[in-house]
Structure 1
Amino acid sequence: MSIPIYNLNLEPLDLKELQRDVWIDDPFPAKLLIQREKLDVDIAYRGSHIREFKKKSYHVGFYHPPTYQGAREIHLNAEYKDPSFIRNKLSLDFFSEIGCLSPTSKHVFLNLNGKAEGIYLELESVDKQFLVKRNLPLGAIFYAVNGDGNFSLLSAIDKKAKASLISGYERKYGNQKTELYLEEMIVKINTLSRADFKREIVRILDVEKYLHWLAGVVLTQNYDGFVHNYALYRNGAAGRFELIPWDYDATWGRDVHGRLLAHDFVPINGFNTLTARILDVDSFRSRYQQILVELINASFTLEQMNPKVERLANNLRPYVLKDPYKKHAIEQFDREPTVIAEFIEKRRRFIKEQLYKLN
C-alpha cells in the first residue's frame, strides 16, 4: 500500500533563513501540495534536541484554507532515531486500542523544494480540533513540556521546589483560569492523606483511564512517559483530567537515542508522584493489576502485534530505499520487526513475573 506524497515548497531565501538557525521558532510561509490540493501553510522546525539531527521535524500550520481534514495544524516527525520508523505510530495506535485518547498518525513521504526528505510520521495535534473531531466536551489542554511534568512540588531537574505549581506544563487550549484546576490537582496529589486522596482524586482525575494509560506506558516501556511525553485534557463536562500519550518513538525495546533498551528497564509500577499515590490505594492497585493481566493476555501479544508490525514495515520498505537519510540502513530496518517481537515476548514475561508486586 502506498503512502501519501507531500510536496513542500518555500521561497529559496526563506528556506535558507530557516536552515540558518534551527532554534528559530518563527514560522515561514510555504506551499504544501498533497495530491491535487494546494495549501498555504506556515512551516517551522519542531522539537528540542531533535532539531540538531540531520533530518529535521516540522510543525505545519494551515492558513488558506484555515483547516485541512479538520486540523488547524499537524506535526511532521522525522523519526530519525528509530530505525523502524514505526514505534511512535505503533504505540499511539496501541493506546487507542486499549481505551485511551490518542492522536491519530500516518506515514507520509516528504519532498522539500523538489528534494526528497524521506519518510515522516504525520501526527495529529492535541488541541481544540482534537476534541471537536471526537465530539468531546471542550476543556483545558496542557502539554507536559519537560521533566517537571512529574505531578510533584519538586523539580525533577534539580530536586528543588518548583517556581510554579504548573512548572513543566504549557497551556495549549483554555484560558488562564483553567490553570487553577491543574494547580488544585497538583496540590491535592501532594498534600492529602491516603484516605482523603482516595476520596478526592476520583473527582478530579479519571482514575480508570489513568490506569489504562499507565499500563500503556509500562508495556511499551516509554521511560520518559511518566514525566514528559503526554498531554493533560480536562473534560469540561465531567471536570476530570485524563492523559494523552505523545512522542512515543523511544519504545518497543529502544531508547531515545535509538539504542537497544533492556526489556526490564521500566518497573511495573512506573514512577512519578501521581502514580505512586494511586498505586498506594489498594483498590486502584488491584484494578491496575487486573488491567495488566487483561492486556498481556489479549492485546500485548505476538499474535496481535506481529501482523501490525509486519504490515507497517512492508508498506514503508520501498520508501526507506528512497529516504536519503536512511536508505543505507535498510538491513537494520529489515531486522527491526524481530527486535520488536523479541521485546514483546521478553516484556510480557517480565510483567507476568512482577505482577506479585501489585498484590
Structure 2
Amino acid sequence: MLNQLNKDIWMDEHVPAVLKIGNNQYSIGLAYRGNVIRKKKKKSYHIVFQKPYSVNGAHEIHLNAEYNDISLSRNKLSLDFFDQIGVIAPHSKHVLLYINGFCKGIYLELESFDQHLLQKRNLPEGSIIYATNYYANFSLLSPKRKLKTDLLEGYTLKYGEEDNLASLEELIIMTNTLKNDEFEEKIEKVLNVEQYLTWLAGVVCTQNFDGFIHNYALYLNSETNTFEITPWDYDGTWGRDLHGKLLEYDFVPITGYNTLTGRLLHFGHFKKKYMDILSSILDNEFTVETQADIVSDLFEWLKPYIHLDPFLNRTSEALDEEKDVICHFIQKRNSFLKEQLIKLQNEQVYG
C-alpha cells in the first residue's frame, strides 16, 4: 500500500486499504494529501470509505500530519475558535495512527466539508466550492496582477451542479464591476454579509495570512440562495506561519485583504457591522482567559502520546512552552486589534 503511494507522492489516485478503528474494520481508498507536506517524512492522508460507504455520517476524512506545527494543535484550535464565534467549521480530533502495525504518530482527523457535513449539522442542501489556490481572491486579476483567463480560476466544485458555479461568477463580477450604489443594493442577495464579516474577524484574529485568498470553502445555502464561507487548513496561525516560524502579532492588518473584503468595508454600515463583530470577539472569545484553558486541556491530552510519534523530537515540556507562545500572541494580537479598532472608529466618525 505505502509502496504504491511512494512510487509517485504527487498521485491523487486512491489505493485500496483496510482501516481498523477499535474492533471495527472498513474498506477504504487511501491517498496522500496536501502540497508541501508530501515532501516531508510525516505525510498527510485522505481517506474515502468504500465499504461501508459512510462511517459516523462521513464518506471521507482527512488525517493531517501537522508536521510543521510544534503544538500539533493550531489547526484544531482555529477551527474550534470559528465554531465558537458562529462560523461553520469542520470538526476535528487527534488520533494515534498505526500502519501495518507500526506507529506513525499523532494525526489530526478532520471532517471533510461536504454534503455529509451539511446533513450532520442539519443545514440546508447546497453547493460547496473549494478555494484550491491563491487565485481564489474574488478578483478579475491574478495574484500577479494579470487579468485572469477564467473567473473561476482557483476554485473547484466539491459538491453540487456545475451550473451553480455561475452564482460564484456572478458574485465575482458584481464585486469587480458594479458601481457603489448597485453593489450595496445587490450584494446581500448573493452573500450572507454578516456571516462573511464574522469569518473575516476570525481570520484576522487567528492571523492566517493565506486565509483571505485560499484556505476556505464557499457554501451556497439553498434556502437563502446566498453564499456562506468556512475556514480550512489553519496550521499557520496563533503566532506562527505555515512553516512553523514565529510571526509578529501585527503581521496581518485588521481589514485583512482580498477584493471582496475591500469592497464591503468601503461602506460605512458594513464597516460598522464588522467592527461590532470584531469588538465582541475581542472581548469574549479571543482572550487569554477564554483560550488558555482550552489550550491547556488539549495539550494535557496530547502529552502522554508525544513520545510515541517517531517523527517528533520533542517532549511534553515543549507543549508547555508553546502554550506560552500562543497565549503571548493572543494577548499582543488582542491589544493590537483593539488599538486598530479605535483608528477605524475615528475614520468612521471623521472620515
TM-score by structure 2 length? Answer: 0.97
Deviation of 1:20 (Å): 2.1
8 Å contact from structure 1 (residues 286, 358) kept in 2:
no
1:129-170 superposed Cα distances (whole Å, 9 cap, x missing partner): 0111111111111000000110000011x2211111110000
Partner residue of 2:70 out of 60, 64, 83:
83
| Amino acid in the other structure paired with 2:154 | G
Aligned length: 345
Pair 1:25 & 2:18 matched: no
SS of structure 2 residue aligned to 1:140 = strand
Corresponding residue to 2:299 among 298, 307, 313: 313
* 2:42 counterpart of 1:55: yes
Question: How far is the alpha carbon of 1:330 from its aligned partner?
Answer: 4.5
Q: Aligned residue for 2:168?
A: 182
Structure 2 residue corresponding to 1:197, chosen from 183, 206, 210: 183
User: Deviation of residue 352 (structure 1)?
Assistant: 0.8
The one-letter code sitting in structure 2 at the alignment partner of 1:214 is: L
Q: Could you say which residue in structure 2 is the equivalent of 1:295?
A: 281
CA contact (8 A) 1:91 1:251 kept: yes
1:278 touches 1:285 (CA, 8 Å); kept in 2?
yes
Q: Distance in 2 between matches of 1:124 and 1:252?
A: 21
Alpha-carbon distance between aligned partners in 2 of 1:304 and 1:175, rounded to the nearest angstrom: 41
Note the C-alpha offset of 1:15: 1.9
2:136 counterpart of 1:136: no
1:255 aligns to what SS in structure 2? coil
1:342 maps to a residue whose letter is H
User: 1:278 is matched with which residue?
Assistant: 264
CA contact (8 A) 1:221 1:252 kept: yes
Instruction: Say whether the 8 Å CA contact 2:4–2:15 is kept in structure 1.
Output: no
Between the aligned partners of 2:30 and 2:312, the Cα distance in structure 1 is 23
Structure 2 residue runs of 5 or longer lacking an equivalent are 346-351
Question: What is the TM-score with the length of structure 1 in the denominator?
Answer: 0.95
Residue in structure 2 matched with residue 339 of structure 1 by the alignment: 325
Q: How far did residue 289 of structure 1 move?
A: 0.7
| Residue of structure 1 equivalent to 2:339 | 353
The aligned amino acid for 1:132 is: Q
Structure 2 CA distance for aligned equivalents of residues 212 and 358 of structure 1: 17
User: What is the RMSD computed on CA atoms of the aligned residues?
Assistant: 0.9
Correspondence for 1:166 = 152
Deviations 1:83-134 (A, max 9, x none): 0011100000010110101001000010111111101000100111011111
SS in 2 for 1:264: coil
Q: How far does the alpha carbon of each residue in 1:16-37 deviate from its partner, in whole angstroms, 9 at most, with x for none?
A: 1212221011111111100111
Change in Cα spacing, 1:357 to 1:280, as seen in structure 2 (3 Å) is farther
Cα drift, residue 172 of structure 1: 0.1
What does residue 216 of structure 2 align with? 230
Matched-pair contact (CA < 8 Å) for 2:44–2:65 = yes
Check whether the contact 1:210–1:243 (CA below 8 A) recurs between aligned residues.
yes
Offset, 1:331: 4.1
Decide which of 130, 135, 152 is 1:148's aligned counterpart: 135
1:258 to 220, 238, 244: 244
Residue in structure 1 matching 2:310, options 312, 324, 341: 324
> Structure 1: how far apart are the matches of 2:18 and 2:218?
32
Counterpart-to-counterpart distance in 2, 1:208 and 1:146: 25
Q: Deviation string for 1:52-96 (max 9, x for gaps)?
A: 111000000001110000000000000000000111000000101
Letter in 2 for 1:232: L
1:10 aligns with: none
SS at match of 1:321: helix
Question: 2:3 and 2:88 mapped to 1: Cα distance?
Answer: 38
Aligned counterparts of 1:25 and 1:289: Cα–Cα separation in 2: 42
| 1:329 Cα deviation from its structure 2 partner | 5.3
Equivalents in 2 of 1:197, 1:179: separation in Å?
A: 20
Residue 124 of structure 1: aligned partner = 111
